[in-house]
């Protein structure tokens, strides 16, 4: 229902923060390895079942999980090539793709889970099986998935997270192109924005932490990051004399990557999604094939939310979809517009159910998810990406939603 709005929309001054991490962050390294393996398998076998987890520590990468596939993949080579692409080529900075120890421990998916996913409960109990295999797919697990969109940036993403991702992406570009030659792969950014009545007003604080060579002074790092990273990313109109800019506030950041901190797949779920601006169902994405609704339904929920906002039905939209393992039809599809809806939320929910088929097989079909498109999502966010072509970012349903809403 459309109400009076939340504290966020009513408050004359409200601070909110989001963070991003670079591709060289140890957790993000693991996400990229897991998704590189998924893509390598999907290149040969689009119907594979993949649940691949990665862990890393000093000069070590461990890959575990359940994979059922006809593909023949050299997993160790995929791991080493991913570590190399990120920029870890010296054990002194955390890990060396040439010499690191790689341990692979993979086995097939449980047949009980496989059977329940392949043929949904609705088809098993009815005794009728669709000729279209996608129609009969059950959800790969129970759970709640959340999608979100807002109109405060051209990416339909929260400004706090959009700026954080741009800062970390710029750190990577500055390192790889030699703009700042002493940068190393690990790094983070965090942006706090002051909102007024739900609209971005100014940037309150910018924090950038980046791994660097040992022989560089703090003053040089601060000057270079301001000039070549912050000033190229954050609009001047959002920065004022009161904006705080903190660069490597802990001091030296020489020891980083897997040497400074162990990494795990799926530990940066808010970086991957909406920067804590929206709620989160709890499931991670990387290393999972699209029969896992943790991933595919979260992508579909983003697709729904973005089309609702693109259709101008609301300024902010959060969509929750929930599933039972082995069942195709969602348990629920709910819509929340936080008082910004142009029509009642219940009407938007009706339109969503009319225009979007959120069964797992239909999501895979409509978003063409049985393709090797996942490694590119494993750093700098899965949503709001304007640098890559992702099917869940399309607004191809907006016109139909707008026309049906009659506004």
Please give the pLDDT value at position 8.
66
Contact criterion met (CB below 8 Å) for 173 and 22:
no
407 compared with 126, residue with greater pLDDT: 407
For helices 345-355 and 398-405, angle between their N-to-C axes, nearest 10 degrees: 130
Range 128-145 average pLDDT: 70
pLDDT of residue 117: 53
CA distance 253 to 230: 18
Of 166, 175, 188, 259, the catalytic one is 188
Q: Which of 8, 66, 124, 404 is catalytic?
A: 66
Out of 25, 49, 165, 184, pick the active-site residue: 25
The secondary structure of residue 8, as a DSSP letter, is H
Q: What is the pTM (predicted TM-score) of this model?
A: 0.92
d(CA 275, CA 189): 12
Q: Which residue among 9, 19, 23, 27 is the active-site one?
A: 27
Active site residue 201: no
The question of whether 268 is a catalytic residue gets the answer yes
Is 267 a catalytic site residue? Answer: yes
From 165, 259, 268, 306, active-site residue: 268
Is 262 in the active site?
Answer: yes
User: What confidence tens digit (pLDDT) does each residue in 199-213 have?
Assistant: 999 999 999 999 999
Active site residue 315: no
In the set 253, 338, 356, 383, the catalytic residue is: 253
Q: Is 288 a catalytic residue?
A: yes
Question: What does each C-alpha distance from 339 to 228, 245, 336 come to in angstroms?
Answer: 40, 33, 8
Give the CA distances from residue 136 to residues 94, 168, 370, in Å, rounded to whole numbers and listed in that order.
46, 41, 16
DSSP labels, 151-206: SSSTTSS-HHHHHHHHHHHHHHHHHHTTTTTTEEEEEEEEEEEEEETTEEEEEEEE
Positive or negative, the CA dihedral 146, 147, 150, 155 is positive
Cα distance between residue 356 and residue 307, in whole Å:
11
As given in the structure block, the two tokens for residue 285 are: 């994405």
Catalytic residue, chosen from 19, 39, 186, 294, is 294
Per residue in 228-261, pLDDT (tens digit) is 999 999 999 999 999 999 999 989 998 988 998 9
**Across the chain, what does the average pLDDT equal?**
91
Query: Measuring CA to CA, which residue among 55, 69, 51 is closest to residue 140?
Result: 51
Q: Is 39 a catalytic residue?
A: no
Determine whether 344 is an active site residue. no
- 176 catalytically annotated: no
Q: Encode pLDDT of 369-399 as tens digits.
A: 999 999 999 999 999 999 999 999 999 999 9
- The residues, ordered by sequence, that sit 6+ positions from 304 with a Cβ below 8 Å of its Cβ are 147, 319, 352, 356, 358, 397
Bridge partners of 311, per DSSP, are none
> 3-class DSSP state for residue 349?
helix
Helix (H) or strand (E) holding 252: none
Is there a catalytic annotation at residue 378?
A: no
Q: Is the pLDDT of residue 335 over 60?
A: yes
Q: Residue 291's closest CA among 129, 125, 119?
A: 119
Instruction: Please report which helix (H) or strand (E) contains residue 35, including its range.
Output: helix 26-44
Instruction: Reply yes or no on whether 261 is catalytic.
Output: yes
Which of 169, 175, 292, 306 is labelled catalytic? 292
Number of helices (H), then strands (E), in the chain: 14, 13
Tell me, yes or no, if 28 is annotated catalytic.
yes
Residue 128 has pLDDT above 80, yes or no: no
292 flagged as catalytic: yes
Measured CA distances, 178 to 110, 185, 199, 220, 228 (Å): 47, 12, 37, 15, 11
Other residues' Cβ atoms within 10 Å of the Cβ of residue 30: 30
Catalytic hit among 8, 123, 222, 262: 262
Residue 285 annotated in active site: no
| Per annotation, catalytic residue among 9, 19, 28, 165 | 28
CA distances from 323 to 135, 165, 332 (A): 16, 30, 8
The catalytic position among 53, 141, 272, 366 is 53
**Residue 108: predicted pLDDT:** 80
∠ CA 40-87-165, rounded to 5°? 85
């Amino acid at each position: 229902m459309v109400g009076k709005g939340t504290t966020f929309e009513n408050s004359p001054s409200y601070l909110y923060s989001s963070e991003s991490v670079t591709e060289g962050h140890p957790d993000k390294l693991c996400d990229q390895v897991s998704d590189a393996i998924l893509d390598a398998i999907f290149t040969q076998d689009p119907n594979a079942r993949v649940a691949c987890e990665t862990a890393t520590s000093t000069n070590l990468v461990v890959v575990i999980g359940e994979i059922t596939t006809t593909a023949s993949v050299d997993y160790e080579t995929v791991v080493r090539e991913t570590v190399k692409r990120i920029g870890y080529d010296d054990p002194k900075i955390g890990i060396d793709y040439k010499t690191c120890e790689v341990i692979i421990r993979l086995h097939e998916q449980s047949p009980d889970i496989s059977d329940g996913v392949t043929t949904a409960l609705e088809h098993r109990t009815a005794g009728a099986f669709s000729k279209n295999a996608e129609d009969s797919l059950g959800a790969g697990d129970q759970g709640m998935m959340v999608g979100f969109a807002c109109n405060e940036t051209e990416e339909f993403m929260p400004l706090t997270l959009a700026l954080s991702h741009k800062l970390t992406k710029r750190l990577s570009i500055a390192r790889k192109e030699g703009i700042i030659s002493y940068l190393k792969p690990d790094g983070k950014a965090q942006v706090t924005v002051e909102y007024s009545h739900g609209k971005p007003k100014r940037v309150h604080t910018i924090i950038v932490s980046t791994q660097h060579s040992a022989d560089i002074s703090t003053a040089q790092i601060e000057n270079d990051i301001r000039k070549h990273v912050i000033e190229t990313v954050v609009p001047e109109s959002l920065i004022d004399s009161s904006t705080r800019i903190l660069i490597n506030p802990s001091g030296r950041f020489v020891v980083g990557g897997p040497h400074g901190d162990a990494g795990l797949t799926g530990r940066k779920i808010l970086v991957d999604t909406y920067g804590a601006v929206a709620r989160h169902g709890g499931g991670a994405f990387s290393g999972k094939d699209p029969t896992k609704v943790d991933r595919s339904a979260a992508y579909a929920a983003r697709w729904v939310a973005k089309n609702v906002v693109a259709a101008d039905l609301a300024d902010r939209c959060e969509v929750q979809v929930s599933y039972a393992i082995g069942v195709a039809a969602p348990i629920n599809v709910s819509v929340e517009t936080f008082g910004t809806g142009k029509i009642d939320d219940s009407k938007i929910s009706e339109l969503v159910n009319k225009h979007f088929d959120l069964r797992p097989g239909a999501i895979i079909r409509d978003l063409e998810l049985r393709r090797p498109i996942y490694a590119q999502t494993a750093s700098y966010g899965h949503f709001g990406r304007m640098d890559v072509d992702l099917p869940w970012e399309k607004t191809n349903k907006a016109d139909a939603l707008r026309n049906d809403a009659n506004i």
